Structures are given as structure tokens and as C-alpha cells.
Homo-oligomer: A and B are copies of this chain.
């Protein structure tokens, strides 16, 4: 039994998923001995730059494409023009087109891959401002470099693409705002996730994976549980159900 792969593709919100309290940790643990959760998170990246990675991360001739991939971009695309993070800005129409290209590429890579689009989380302008002041003091720009309203446009665009292309989606922007105090409860600097914010992402992702038939308890272990090994004849436990397990 070859161990499956689940890929988390995105920006810093994905790169940081493997940190302490990150959403990738409980996910990797849930699929322990069943699937490898591979983090492909690139801090600061927008969808325009992510396109350059597609053929490298998801080669079309792969013999073992991922069984599922999350695509979690938009927080950087939504940076405003004329402000301090302008270089990361991608117009919302191009963002949609880039997501469409990304989904198409993954479908080309594997027609049975479960694809999950995740919208950017909501944005707290006060939190961003406080963070800028913590870095630059009085030199911090007074003008927001991102707004929740604009980020919401990207979230809507992401959901539209998911519906258009028939893939899974998580509207994190809406979901998080259902909770009072989301600004500080879920966001550490107005943009990145607190431990509780990471928990929301984990719970939403595992819910979608369960719906998609990728519930961990439905996936086989790569090797027998130790209780299944006859200690007088251990070889018997390893003679069956092993095909081509490779790293």
C-alpha cells in the first residue's frame, strides 16, 4: 500500500501551518501512518508568482500525484496598490484567472485529486496598523496596506472559481467573521493566524476531507498495527497487502 500524499499549497498562512499550533500539525497527525501531509507554503507569494511553481510542484507526468491539495492564496493578492505592500498586489480578475489556471493544472495532474480552494481570512486593519507600528514606530505608514473589504472581494472571487470549476471550497473570510471578536481571537497581527485561528482552518479542512471521502479512518495504515503482528510468526503480517511503498 503506497502512502498517499496531501499537499498544502499557499502563502505564509500555509508556510506557517507546520509551526507550533499551526493547522498543518493536527492534520498531519490525523493522517499519521496513512498519508504524508506536505507543506508547500511560500510566504509573501501571490497567485501570479505561484503559477511559476505549478509544473515543479505538480509535474504532469507524476506517477503518484497527491490525493488532495489545498490552495490557499489571496491574502497577498489583495494588498492595495499605492500602499506599502503594493508589489504583492494582483488585480482581482487576474487572481481569479490565476486560480482557474491552478485548478486546471491540478486536474490535469490528476483527475481524481480532491481540490480545496481556501479564501483568505478576514483582515483587521487595526491589527495591521499596530503591527506596522511595532516594526517601524512613527515611520509606519498611516494608510492601510490591506482592507477587510477588499480582501472580501478576493474571497468572493475564490468561491466563484470553486463553484465554476466544481471543486471544494472553504470561505474562511465569512466563517471567521461569524465569531465575535474574530479580529484578535483568530488573527495575531491582523492577517496571520493565532492558535485559535489555526484551529478553525484545521477543523474546516478536515471537515471537507471527510466529506470528500478522505476521512483518515477510511484510509488504510501503510503497515500493520503492532497488535496484528503474530509475534511467533511476524513475517505473516508483512506478506499481505504490501505493494510498492516508497517515500
Contact = CB atoms under 8 A, between A and B. Distances in A.
A77 to B, nearest CB: 12
A33 to B, nearest CB: 7
A203 to B, nearest CB: 15
A142 to B, nearest CB: 23
Identical subunits present: 2
A247 B62 contact: yes
A225 interface: yes
A148 interface: no
A235 B52 contact: yes
A62 B225 CA distance: 26
A24 to B, nearest CB: 9
A7 interface: yes
By size class, the interface of chain A is: 35 or more
A229 interface: yes
A53 B224 CA distance: 10
A57 B247 CA distance: 6
A218 interface: no
Contacts of A38: 36, 247
A127 interface: no
Interface string A71-98: 0000000000000000110000000000
A48 interface: yes
Given A33-B42, A88-B231, A57 B245 contact: yes
A223 interface: yes
Nearest to A86: B231
Contact of A245 (B5, B29, B56): B56
Given A19-B25, A20-B20, 4 more contacts: A18-B32, A22-B29, A32-B41, A56-B245
21 contacts: A19-B25, A20-B21, A22-B29, A28-B39, A32-B41, A33-B41, A38-B247, A42-B223, A43-B225, A44-B227, A45-B226, A49-B226, A52-B223, A52-B237, A56-B223, A56-B242, A56-B246, A58-B247, A62-B246, A62-B247, A87-B231
